[in-house]
Amino acid sequence: MGVSLVDIRSFLTALPDVSVHDSTDDLFFFRGDEQKFPFATVVTHDDAYDALSNLDRPGVFRLNLATDKETFAALFPDLQTRAALDEANIDYQALDVLFPHPVYGRMRWVSVINPESVWDQCQELLNKAHQIRELRPNSW
């Protein structure tokens, strides 16, 4: 059985100084109460701007998180330029696989649909995303 939305929310809200915007079906996780820019999100449905992951499938959601340049390069060494990202053959609908965010990959955001076997790696990345936001609050 995969990781649930409750599991993800519980993990993230256990980190220091995390607030959640949850007035929609999606979840936005922020460092502090200002809620200017999230360090992680969970998206549960397609919209006009982002439908490549086919999130309207039953029981499907996508965890998205910010990374720094070094982490993104380690995860996707062949996708370091805009052209490489644009030309890459990425399966944005794959389950339990890390991939560059379909829209914000250029900003070094990483996504995974219904994490299970990659959950341990996701937890490490989420901790790092939280720390990046803490260490460089104005760098977004």
pLDDT at res. 140: 46
Per the CB < 8 A criterion, the answer to whether 27 and 21 are in contact is yes
Torsions phi, psi of 12, nearest 5? -70, -40
Q: What is the per-residue pLDDT across 97-121, written as a single tens digit (0 to 9) for each?
A: 999 999 999 999 999 999 999 999 9
Q: Do 66 and 85 form a contact (C-beta atoms < 8 A)?
A: no
Statement: residue 128 has pLDDT above 50 = yes
Taking the mean position of all CA atoms in its chain, how far away is CA 105?
10
Tell whether 14 is covered by a domain: yes
Tokens of 32: 């502090």
pLDDT given for residue 135 in this prediction? 62
Residue 130 covered by a domain: yes
pLDDT digits (tens, 9 = 90+) for 59-84: 999 999 999 999 999 999 999 999 99
Please check whether residue 49 lies inside any domain of the structure.
yes
Is 26 within the bounds of a domain? yes
Whose tokens are 């929310």? That residue is: 9
pLDDT score, position 44: 96
Q: Is residue 20 part of a domain?
A: yes
Q: By residue range, what is the domain housing residue 37?
A: 5-135
Residue 140 within a domain:
no
What are the C-alpha distances in Å from 36 to residues 4, 85, 107, 133, 140?
26, 27, 16, 11, 10
Q: How many domains does the chain have?
A: 1
Residue 113 lies in a domain: yes
CB neighbour class for 77 (10 Å; exposed up to 12, middle 13-18, buried from 19)? exposed
pLDDT greater than 90 at residue 85: yes
The helix/strand/coil state of 85 is helix
Q: Higher model confidence: residue 80 or residue 2? A: 80
Nearest to 129 by CA among 8, 3, 2, 4: 8
| Whole-number percent of the chain with pLDDT over 90 | 86
Domain of residue 114, CATH code = 3.90.1150.30
